[in-house]
Amino acid sequence: MKPSQHIAIATGTPGERRRIGVALRNNVSRHAQAEWAVPADRRDPVEILMGQGKDRLPELLPIRYARMSTDPFAFLRGAAAIMAADLARTPSAGIRMQSCGDAHLSNFGSYATPEGLPVFDINDFDETLPAPFEWDLKRLATSLVVAGRVGQYSEKAARALARTVARSYREHMAEFARLPPLQAWNQRVDLARAVAAIDQIKLRNTVEKRLARVLESGASQFNLLEEKDGHLRIRDKRPLVYHLDMHALPARKALSSYAETLQEDRRVLLQRYSLRDVAFKAVGVGSVGTFCAIGLLTAGDGSPLLLQIKEARESVLAPFAGSSDYSNHGERVVVGQRLMQAATDMFLGWIPSLIDKRHFYVRRLKDSRLADIGSLLQAALPFYAALCGQTLARAHARAGDPALVSGYAGNGTDLDEAISEFAFAYAKQTEADWNAFLAAIKAGRIVATAPESPKS
Is residue 9 included in any domain, yes or no?
no
Same domain, 261 and 345: yes
Same domain, 34 and 175: yes
Domain count, the chain: 2
Same domain, 335 and 203: no
Same domain, 278 and 211: no
Is residue 178 included in any domain, yes or no?
yes
Which residues partner with 122 through β-bridges?
108
Same domain, 337 and 381: no
Is residue 385 included in any domain, yes or no?
yes
Same domain, 214 and 346: no
Same domain, 152 and 287: no
Is residue 54 included in any domain, yes or no?
yes
- Specify the pLDDT at position 2: 43
The parent domain of residue 122 ranges over 14-219+369-443
Choosing from 300, 329, 364, the residue where a domain stops is 364
- Specify the pLDDT at position 246: 61
Same domain, 164 and 97: yes
- Specify the pLDDT at position 237: 82
- Specify the pLDDT at position 56: 82
Going residue by residue through the chain (456 aa), what tens digit of pLDDT does each one get? 343 445 656 678 999 999 999 999 999 999 999 999 999 999 999 999 999 988 887 878 888 899 999 999 999 999 999 999 999 999 999 999 999 999 999 899 877 776 767 788 998 999 999 999 999 999 999 999 999 999 999 999 999 999 999 999 999 999 999 999 999 999 988 777 888 888 888 888 887 887 777 666 656 666 788 888 888 999 888 777 888 766 667 777 778 789 999 999 999 999 999 999 988 887 665 677 788 889 999 999 999 999 999 999 999 999 999 999 999 999 999 999 999 998 888 999 999 998 888 899 999 986 445 444 444 456 788 889 999 999 999 999 999 999 999 999 999 999 999 999 999 999 999 999 999 999 999 999 999 986 554 444
Same domain, 208 and 231: no
Same domain, 284 and 379: no
- Specify the pLDDT at position 231: 84
Same domain, 284 and 156: no
Is residue 128 included in any domain, yes or no?
yes
Choosing from 333, 364, 395, the residue where a domain stops is 364
Is residue 2 included in any domain, yes or no?
no
Same domain, 330 and 279: yes
Choosing from 335, 364, 393, the residue where a domain stops is 364
- Specify the pLDDT at position 18: 96
Is residue 312 included in any domain, yes or no?
yes
Is residue 452 included in any domain, yes or no?
no
